[in-house]
Amino acid sequence: MALGLTTKSTVFSILVASAAMLSPSPKSIYAEAAPDRAIVGIKYLNYHDSQSGDTAQTAGMTRDRINVNALSFMGMVPIAGKWSISATFIEDSITGASPLYHSSGFPSSSPKHDAASGASGELRHAGDISVTRYFSRGTLSAGATYSQESDYISRGLSLNGTLSTEDKNTTLSLGTAYNRDTIALDKPAVDPAKFQLATGRKKVYSGLVGLTQVVSKNDIVQLNLTYTHGHGYYSDPYKAPDLRPDHRNIYTVMTRWNHHFEGTDGTGRLSYRYYSDTFGVRAHTFDAEYVQPLSKGWVLTPLVRFHSQSAADFYVPVGASELNDPATPTPPPAGASYYSEDQRLSAFGAFSYGLKVSRDLGRSWLADVRYEQYQQRYNWCINGHGDPGIAYFNIRDFQLGFSRKF
């Protein structure tokens, strides 16, 4: 279906993050002893995004794009006091479509590809499993992931470990991961006049080095460095025109600071991530949330995030012909080796805010509700210059979950 591969990755990341919320807290995951109780959980997610024409070039444009309904199930079982096994399964139903180029050109070759038709889309299934061994001063985890839909299959393996000093104040984290993706576009519903029929493969290797330090009884800081190398099919066959390099290196630096407020018994969490890749994208992401326990088992967690990125080196801005006729794509520069009109590779800024409410229901039951609103604008970027021809982009994300320990 014409979601676009980047949109697929974005939605799947949200689903995986949603399932992760059902798992034990990071404190439990990195404890020096295996957990002594099993846990199972279920979470429902509804994701909806849309674009609105609030600029001079896109005035009057309002389009609903992607709608996702998903269920995720997770379980974790301790074994023999030194091991644990965790697994997650996700099934989601996706309807709608993303534009062929920039904010325009919604495919309409068949009801399946028509964003306005309301026709059903496709089901996707994904899952992961991991095994963790606990030692007196660290952990070692091995995991595998699998995701499948009609035109995309992803497989992955990971290995992660932690090692703490004798006083438990400093923890070193090391991790590596491998992913292999297959893109198969040979479905009759795809219009060859609009889409690039292809079978592509991509391999991605990642490595992580992290350091967590207890600064005081109320403060913990963390620094993570990640390097990712990928090669293979990076173009989006649902975009027209779109031709991207067949390799991509990604570098990220993540810092976190957690502070516990004794007066309120709440915890503030701040983080900053710097992102850079060989496509030319540079990004800054700031996160803040505050976890406030209340009486009778209630916990409130407001959150806010700001993201800003520069455009990829080969991004093609909206041209005059497209401004005059949104049905006409902007032609790539003559002689260009690579080019893309995917708005997700443009320069933009994004602001999101939300609230998570959870409650201990007793008898080892926990319930949580989370709502988040995301707004993306070309003129909010703090690095680079946005494309004024891009329509405003909005996301609404709602989640409801239940879990129980045994």
Residue 240 phi, psi (nearest 5): -145, 115
Q: What is the pLDDT of residue 150?
A: 83
Model confidence at 10: pLDDT above 70: no
Q: Give residue 111's pLDDT band: very low, low, confident or very high (50, 70, 90).
A: very low
Looking at the domain that runs over 5-405, which CATH code has it been given? 2.40.160.40
Closest CA to 264 of 221, 232, 293, 295: 293
What does pTM read for this prediction? 0.87
DSSP letter string, 3-63 = T-HHHHHHHHHHHHHHHHTTSPPHHHHT-SS--SS-EEEEEEEEEEEEEE--SGGGTT-EE
Q: What tokens were used for 376?
A: 């993306």
pLDDT, tens only, 159-198:
999 999 999 999 999 999 999 999 876 544 445 555 555 5
Q: What are phi and psi of 2, to 5 degrees?
A: -85, 60
Domain ranges in the chain are: 5-405
**Cβ atoms of residues 66 and 59 within 8 Å:** no
pLDDT at 251 over 90: yes
Where is average pLDDT lowest: 10-19, 314-323, 361-370?
10-19
**199 C-beta neighbours (distance < 10 Å), count:** 12
Query: Does the pLDDT value for residue 268 go beyond 60?
Result: yes
**Phi, psi angle pair for 35, to nearest 5°:** -60, 150
Structure tokens at 196: 């690039």
Q: What is the mean pLDDT of residues 237-262?
A: 94
| CA gap 177, 157 in Å, rounded | 6
The Cβ of residue 49 has, within 10 Å, a number of other Cβ atoms equal to: 22
What's the pLDDT tens digit per position in 126-163? Answer: 999 999 999 999 999 999 999 998 888 999 999 999 99
Give the tokens for residue 283: 């990004």
Residues in the chain, overall count: 406
Tens digits of residue pLDDT in 60-92: 556 788 999 999 999 999 999 999 999 999 999
